[in-house]
Structures are given as structure tokens and as C-alpha cells.
Amino acid sequence: MITFLLKRIGLAIPTLLGAAMLIFFVVRLTGDPAAILLPLGTPESVVNQFRIDKGLDQPLPIQFEHFLLDIVRGNFGTSIRYGLPVSQLLLERLPATLELALCGIALATVIALPLGIIGGLRHGSKVDYVGRFVALGFQAIPVFYLGILLILIFGVWLELLPTVGNFGPVSLILPSVTLAAYLIPIPLRVTRGAVLDVASQNYIRSAKGRGIPRLQIVLKHMLKNSMIPVVTVLGLQIGASLSGAIITEAVFGWPGIGRLLVDAISTRDFPVVQGVVIFATAAFIVVNLIVDVAYKVLDPRIRLN
Amino acid sequence: MNSMPAPLLSVQDLTTVFRIRGGSVTAVDRVSFDIHVGQIVGLVGESGSGKSATALSIAGLIERPGFILSGRILLDGKDLVGLPESELTHVRGRQIGYVFQDSMSSLNPTMRIGDHLVEVVRHHLGLRRRDAYNRAVAALMEVGIPRASERMSSYPHEFSGGMRQRTMLAMAMVIKPKLLIADEPTTALDVTIQAQILDLIKDLAQKHGTAVLLITHDLAVASQICDFIHVMYAGQIVESAPSQLLFDRPESPYTEGLLRCLPDIADDPDERFRAIEGTPVDMASPPAGCRFAPRCEYAREICVQSAPRLSPRSPAERMARCWASEKGGWRVA
Amino acid sequence: MSPSLIEAQDVSVRFNTPQGRLTAIKSVTLGIERGECLGVVGESGSGKSTLARALLGLTPVARGKILYNGVDISKMSPRAWRRTRRRLQIVFQDPLSALNPRLRAGEAIAEPIRVHRLRERRGVPQRVGELFDQVGLSRRMADRFPHEFSGGQQQRIVIARALAAEPEFMVCDEPTSSLDVSIQAQVLGLIQDLQRQLNVTLLFIAHALPVIRRLAGRVAVMYLGRVVEMGSRDDIYSRPSHPYTLALLSAFPATKRADNTGHIVLRGDLPSPIGPPSGCAFHTRCWLYEMLGRPEVCRVVEPPLAGSVSAVACHFAQDARAASGTAAS
């Protein structure tokens, strides 16, 4: 296990490096931040000075080198727009995103897993159809559309819930529901499929042949085995919640990292974009690592190989 | 007064049906037979004969789209057909042990071997963990697994095929059932291991006084340990006889054909292979007359028109389903 | 030029696995002559399937040579090898997975004919029809897909497809193991007929001795990657010399024996090919070893395959023969 972990951490470094390189060069293709941030009509000399100040005039490789060196020292650069360190901006907004992500994931899990399990155990039943309908429905509706729809119904017509910004736990409701809707379909279907698959396995029939009661079979034999693919998918969903969060935060004006990223992209605030993307990549790598470890814990066939 | 004791298991006119698209298939067609305490009975047939469906019906393991249509299954006088599931779980595993064919897929891959055994013991006998554990180790030793206590913490995929099958036997026998149903227990195994497993089944049965129902497609396997054999074809029993009599003098053409297919060391090796012509019956629409008639070399008009019934032969325990071998029939055995 | 069509000279095949180095076959030397049928018998881990694949050039050998018509196949030019390939065919155990589920039966059989250009375009359908007849299938079934056939029929299609390439050498790797008993006899009978009619050289692999008795002229018995006994059919079935062969013969049905005397049951499991037992690989399960009081030589020295016409690898082959007189009936 230790060697496995060390190997994976070792692999993480080139991955992050690759991600950093990719985002670094790609984002600079989007254009000139000076042109966006400075008002029209600013004299050329001021614009140039602006560029020199922000280090944008230097050749790309040199910029990249500085960038890497800075990262090693823990410095993710300074926001062109705000003038504040990127790390500070990130940390300020991280809690909000975590709140939203956790709520969204929790809500999605609480709905998707039971529906999926029951749907798999009693496939063809009403519960199964409800589950599949829900999965299909939520998969089909675009996140932003659902978000706006919810705002319209609950915020404007019914005036029940707040729609913009973070003003306490109540504000969390609509964004979480929206994010949850985005996250539900895949775990639901994977769980259902996994349970169906396990239920048809010979060892389940064999346990029945030994007189083990149905409930015990479901809880003890089926669940553990069906959870293996589900855990993988849940891990991926955590990563997906990041991208879902971006849109959700944008729609609801939720002051998290996603919103930060969207704003930074439109203002071409390179350092912020880089910082957020690298952070997201690192988070994804960590989550994947946890999923792989969980995989090994759950399935002894993988562990012992 | 010397009356025959009541049988342990009495299957009477059992009919099991599977619903398929556009109709139904009668996998088990009015099958009747008895098993006495301590007896080893073989149910022999090829694919589609209904032997596995019969065994699953006895253990109450038939699932949709199959169901038991009619008949009785008396275990110690109590009818298992129609029993609610809550009562059946007490019969299964406790009074009837079931060993499945494919031992690899019949064991939960994420559960240790020891846990499989302890689970069964605790559920049926209600023992404490410590006692259940010891029973489990004893069971593994009894089936010949070396270093049994170490092996309790192994996973199924760490065992060889032979060891897994032994484990399956241990799981079935640990609570000493009255009847052991072994469904093709040797099919996936190597030849030298097959012999071991069959001997083990016989030993365990004798030691614990357990009756055995052995399901197999291989007459040779059945010949090794069975006292009595029923041959099935197309959902029906076509012949029943004590083992040795069956081999010495088969009364049904199908049995005769099967025996011919078996290689014998005394045969002339340069002879051609002798096979049964034709293909097995389409169970969705079986023929009206004798089901074996299309493939039978002794078939006559009456065979195609009218289905023979299972009727006695001599000596008393023998039965066969064939017009030709009945009294006054045209086939000289 | 040697009379052998295919020959293995001191061949060893090894694999590296996460658990260690696996020796699938060790120092196997045998030759198959034109027109003969060699039976190879062994259980799991015996290396019989690996041997077949090595002979067909499907598995690289770690040591030794495979010769086809006297030519080392690893030294052949790619062109020559492609031409040779067609003459080597194999029939596997599971016909359903050997057949492309999307190809109709007729198409599957026609494919080798077309690929190797054995007939002109116009002549293909007729040749396919001939092959159908040869394997006993109705020509009208040519339009059906594999899953619409029964197991025995599927295997006939596989055999027809192999014959379509007009092979010189065919390997049958347990072709009937997954079939019902009555169908097994049909397919084996078919193979028997074809072998006689077409004079194809055959390597028949089986996991038990009864199956190949009527097919093989010579038999090689393998255990854990080594050939432990080899000889003519009569040698093996009537005068076996190796304790393992004797145990395998016990697997013959006892139906026509009056009782089960001579019923040898080996103890223990098949050892793993990774880290095989020292000395004679069979000693851990050998009944003769026990009977002779566990002689040290069996643990320490690996017995060579000795003998000219019939060969056996056992330190105590004579004792085995003597014991077999009393043990097997």
C-alpha cells in the first residue's frame, strides 16, 4: 500500500506540471488583459507600462519559468484585476464553494443511492421507473436552465427563497438543489446497474441456498459488492461537482471559486485562472487517489494483486 | 412387521414451468421419485433434461420467470411447495444443503472463506462467534483443507478449484443437513480432483447419515458413488434403477445410447465412436408422442403417436418409460 | 529431412507474472509425424495448451526450437511464415467465442477460403457447401448466425472453418469439453472420420484419457509443464509406466468393472507452476512415492524422460508397472 501511495504521489507531480503548462499557455491565447482592464482610449504608453508592471511583456518561456519558480515558493501570483495574491483570493472563496459542493453532493447521494438500490433490487417496479425518470430528466435539463427556472419559481413568483449571493443557510437551498440535480443521474444509474448485476450473481443465489434471509443477503452480500463501481463514480462526481459548481455559482451569484474563475476568464486575469485550474487539478488528483485506495479496501481481488 | 420406512424426501408429480416470450417451457414434467435416509441418488441428464430445475425446485430456489406449477415435495412428510419464504429459509441450508456447480462464482469475492462459514453456522444454529468460528474450522478440516485455521482468512480467489469446491461442501455440511443436493459438483474440475471430491461427498454422507441427490450429466460420475440413478430426458424421468442394474441392463434406449457414448477400456479402440443421432428436444414445443422417438433406433408407429408412461420393470424398484421395453414389447434387453 | 511434420526440440516456455516466474513448459521434445494423431493429456497447469500454442507459433519459446518440416519457425521470413500459417489450424474448446457473432455460418467458413485465395470467387459457394456436407450440417443453415445453432453444431462450424484453410496440421484443444455427452460422441466421431478421410495431422488435447483413446495413435501425458510419459496408444492404455498415468486411467468409468479396485485417488491439489516442487514435480501427490517409503531421490532429482519407443520420466517406472498389475484391474 505504501509503495502504491508513493507511486501515485510521484505521478501526481508531472500531472500537475502538465496541467499548469497547458493552462498557462492556453489562457494567454485568449488575449490581452490590458485591453480589457484599462478603459478605452488609454494612451499607448500607459498600456505598455501596465504590461511591464504585470510582467506581461516578457517572452512566454520566461514568464513560465517565473511562474513555476513562484509556485514552488508557494506564490501563485497576483491578480491582475484586484492586485491581491491569488492564494488569498482562493482561500477567501474556498469555504463558500465547499459549502455548496458538500450540500449538493450530500443531497444528490441521499436521493441517488437509495433510488438506485431499490431500483436495482426491484427492477421493473414503480420505484424503479421513478428513479429512471428522475435520472433521465435531470440529465436532460441543462444546469443553468434549471437554476434559472428555480429562481423564477421560488424567488420571483413565490418569493420564498433568496436567489443571489450568500446570506446565510437559506441561500444555500436553491443552489444546492440545482447542483444536486446535476449530480444525481450518473450515480443513480450506476448504482442501479451495479445492484442489478450483483443480484444476478451466483454467490447471491448460493447464499439464498444456504438459507440466509433476504434482508441479510441485501445488506451483507450485495451492498459491499455493488459499492465498488459506485465509489468510483462518486469520486468522479466530486470532480464533476467542481464544474457543476462553476455554472451554479454563476447563475446564483454564489461567491465561490467557480464564480471567481468565471470572472477571471472574462477579464483575462491570467494568474487567477491559472491558480484556480491548478487548484482544481490538484483536488481532482487527491479525490482520485482516495477513490483508488477505497477501491482496494473494498475489493480484495484488487488489493492482493 | 417389516414395512419400508417412509422416505426422507418424496417428490410427487412435480411440474416446474418457465415463462418465456410467447409461451412457456415445462422444464420439469410430472417428476416423481423418493430418496431414503442415507441414500445417494443420482439424477442424470443432459442439458435441457430438467435435472437442475428439479433440484432447484426441491430447494425452493426457482426464481422468475420460473415457478412450480403443481406437485408436492415432501421432506419428512412436510410439503415444501407453497411454503412461505420465511419458512423456506429455515429449510434451506438447515435441512437441505445445496452445492452449486461453479464454485468460483458461488462464493462472494469480497468475503473471506471463514466469514462464509461462520455466517451459515450463526444463522442456523445461533452460536456465539467463538463457537461458530471453531465449528467452521472443524468443517474445513473435515473436508480436507490443509492448515484450516489459517485458511479461514483467505479470499475465494486465493483458493484452487478443488479447494473451493471443498469449501462449498463444508458450507453445506457444517450444520449437518438431512439432504445434500450436489449440482454438477465436479464439472469444472480436473479429473484427478473430481475423483477426490466424489469420494469426499460419499465419505461425508456416510459419516453424517446425510442423503445425497447428485445432479450430473455424466453417467460415469454417477456410477462412482450413487446407489440409485434416475435418468432424465426432456423434463421427464425415462428410467430409474439401482446403479449396477442400470449399467448392466438398461431398459430405455436413451440410457442405452448414453452408455454407448461412454468410453470403456475394454472396447476396441479402433471402433468408430458411437453416438446418439439427432439433437435434443426443443422444450418450447415437445413432440406429442415419446420425446425420444425422433432419435431412437427402436422407434415404431406407436412411439410417435402416444407417449409412454413410466412403468415398473423387474426387479421391483426399476422403472422405465418406453413402449419397446414393456412386457410384451419388441425390444429384447 | 525428418519425417516429422511438426517438432518441438527441448522447448521451454516461461512467463513473468506478478507472483513470480511461471514455467509453463519445461524441456519438451516431441515430434508429430505426417498423418498421425498425437494425443496430449494433462490437467490444469500441465502446459498442454501452451504447448499447442508454441507449436503453432502463437507463443514465443524461451528455449529450444519449433520446427515445421524441418525449418525453424522463428527463423522464417514473414512471407514464408504467412504461407505456413494457413496450414496450421486450431479448434478451441468454446465454439461460441471462437465464432464471430456477426458473421453468418456460411460467411465464417468462406472467410479463410477468400483470405488465402484457395478458390476463385465463383467457386467459393460450392466449396462452402462441400464443407457443410463434410461436417454433417445442412446447407440450408448457412444463413444462420452462430447463436442460432446448438453447441455441437457450432463446433462443427468451427471445424469446417478450420478445414476451409486446407490445413496440414490441426490442433484440437479440448473441442468437446463443453458439450453434452451425446453430442461429444458425435463431434469426436466427426473428427475421427475427417482425420481418416483427409489424412490431416492432428494434435488432440484432452484433460482426461478416455476421450482420446479412439483417436490417438500416440499419447503424451503431461504434468506441470513436463512430459512424464509418452508412447503408443497400447503402451499408455495397456502398459502404463508412470504413476500419474495410472492415476489418470483410474478416471475411466467404473461402469463395466465389477468393483472399484484400482481406483487411485490422488491426494492434494495440483501444485502451482510458479515454484514447482523440487526434484520430480509429481512426488508431492505420487502414490508410488508413498508406497515406496518416500525415497529421497524423488525429492531431489528430476527424472529425465527416458526410453526410445515409449518413454517415461520416473525413477521407479518398473515398480509402477509392477504395482499396476495388482492395482488396476
pLDDT in tens, C260-287: 445 778 888 888 888 888 889 999 989 8
* Count, residues in chain B: 333
> Does A254 lie in the same domain as A179?
yes
Residue C259 has pLDDT above 70, yes or no: no
Burial of B69: CB neighbours in 10 Å, binned 0-12, 13-18, 19+: middle
Cis peptide before B315 (omega within 30 of 0): yes
> Does A138 lie in the same domain as A59?
no
Condensed to tens digits (0 to 9), the pLDDT of residues C297-314 reads: 888 888 888 887 789 999
Residue A165 has pLDDT above 80, yes or no: no
pLDDT range class, residue B210, cuts 50, 70, 90: very high
**How is residue C53 written as a grid cell?**
500454442
How do the domains of chain C map onto residue ranges?
Answer: 98-166, 237-327
- Domain-located, residue A305: no
> Does A116 lie in the same domain as A50?
no
The answer to whether residue C239 neighbours chain B at the CB level (below 8 Å) is no
Instruction: Please list, in sequence order, all residues whose beta carbon lies within 8 angstroms of the beta carbon of residue B309, skipping any fewer than 6 positions away.
Output: B321
Rg of chain C on CA atoms, in Å: 21
Mutation target to probe the C interface, by most C beta carbons within 10 A, among B273, B274, B277, B295 is B273
Other beta carbons within 10 angstroms of residue C18's beta carbon come to 6
Instruction: Return the closest-CA partner of residue A238 out of A277, A188, A175, A291.
Output: A291
> Does A9 lie in the same domain as A116?
no
CA distance A119 to chain B (A): 17
How far is CA C125 from its chain centroid? 32
What is the DSSP-derived secondary structure letter of residue A121?
H
Give chain B positions within 8 Å (CB) of A212.
89, 93, 119-120, 123
Contact C182 B257 (CB under 8 A): yes
- Domain-located, residue A300: no
In the prediction, which pLDDT does C2 show? 56
The answer to whether residue B261 neighbours chain C at the CB level (below 8 Å) is yes
Instruction: Return the closest-CA partner of residue B104 out of B37, B28, B189.
Output: B189
Give the span between the Cα atoms of B38 and B227, in whole angstroms. 10
Q: Which domain holds residue A181?
A: 94-266
Q: Which residues pair with B67 in a beta bridge?
A: B17
A interface residues, B as partner, C-beta within 8 Å: 201-203, 205-214, 216, 220-221, 224-225, 298-301, 304
The answer to whether residue C207 neighbours chain B at the CB level (below 8 Å) is yes
C4 membership: H or E segment, kind and range = strand C4-17
Give chain A positions within 8 Å (CB) of B121.
none
Q: What is the mean pLDDT of residues B170-196?
A: 88
Give the span between the Cα atoms of C64 and C139, in whole angstroms. 45
CA distances from B198 to B11, B264, C59 (A): 24, 20, 36
Rg of chain A on CA atoms, in Å: 24
pLDDT range class, residue B138, cuts 50, 70, 90: very high
> Does A213 lie in the same domain as A174?
yes
- Domain-located, residue A273: no
B106 membership: H or E segment, kind and range = none
How far is CA A117 from its chain centroid? 24
Full set of structural domains in chain B with CATH: 9-233 (3.40.50.300), 252-333 (no CATH)
- Domain-located, residue A274: no
CA distance B29 to chain A (A): 23
> For helices A2-27 and A60-72, what crossing angle results, to 10°?
140
Give the span between the Cα atoms of C125 and C106, in whole angstroms. 8
Give the span between the Cα atoms of C60 and C55, in whole angstroms. 10
> Does A117 lie in the same domain as A260?
yes
Contact B46 C182 (CB under 8 A): yes
Residue A42 has pLDDT above 80, yes or no: no
- Domain-located, residue A237: yes
Question: HSE of C42 in the Cβ direction (CA atoms, 13 Å)?
Answer: 27
CB B229 within 8 A of CB B35: no
Residue C170 has pLDDT above 90, yes or no: yes
> Does A143 lie in the same domain as A8?
no
Is this prediction's ipTM beyond 0.90? no
Give chain C positions within 8 Å (CB) of B271.
214
Mutation target to probe the B interface, by most B beta carbons within 10 A, among A123, A203, A224 is A203
C303 membership: H or E segment, kind and range = none
pTM (two decimals) = 0.81
Burial of B85: CB neighbours in 10 Å, binned 0-12, 13-18, 19+: exposed
Instruction: Return the closest-CA partner of residue C316 out of C230, C248, C249, C241.
Output: C241
What is the SS3 assignment for C146? helix
Please report, as a single letter, which amino acid is at residue A40: L
Give the span between the Cα atoms of A106 and A92, in whole angstroms. 23
First-last CA distance in chain B? 36
Q: How many CB pairs under 8 A join A and B?
A: 76
CATH of the domain at A126: 1.10.3720.10
